[in-house]
Amino acid sequence: MEVRYTSFESFYPFYLSQHSNLTCRRLHVVGSTLFLLVLGWAVMNQAWAALALLPVIGYGFAWVGHFFFEHNKPATFTYPVYSFMGDWVMYWQTLTRKLPF
C-alpha cells in the first residue's frame, strides 16, 4: 500500500530517500543552479522566450539522475508540489553543507 503524504514535513524524509545517490543529487544541484542562472538572465535581458527552457533545464538534469543513477521514478510524478519544494530545500541544504555533495 502506497503512503499518501499530507504534509511537507512528513514527505521530505521520503524525498531524501529518493536522492541517496550522490550523482543524482549533484545533477539536481546542476539543474537548479542553471535554472536560477537562466531565470536571472532572462529577467535581466527581458528575454521572455528563454523562460520556456526552465522546465527542460530544471527537470532534465533531475530526471537523468533518477533514471540513470538512482533508478527510481521521480517524486514529481506523484507529488509535484512537495517535490518542487523538496528540490529547493535539498538545494539549500546542499549549498549550506547540511547534505553531502
- pLDDT score of 1: 65
Residue 78 DSSP symbol:
T
* 25: its cell numbers: 543529487
Note the pLDDT tens digit of each residue in 3-33: 899 999 999 999 999 999 999 999 999 999 9
Residue 74 has pLDDT above 70, yes or no: yes
Phi first, then psi: what are they for 91, rounded to 5°? -60, -50
**Burial class (CB within 10 angstroms; exposed 0-12, middle 13-18, buried 19+) of 6:** exposed
The identity of residue 86, as a single letter, is G
pLDDT tens by residue, 75-98: 999 999 999 999 999 999 999 999
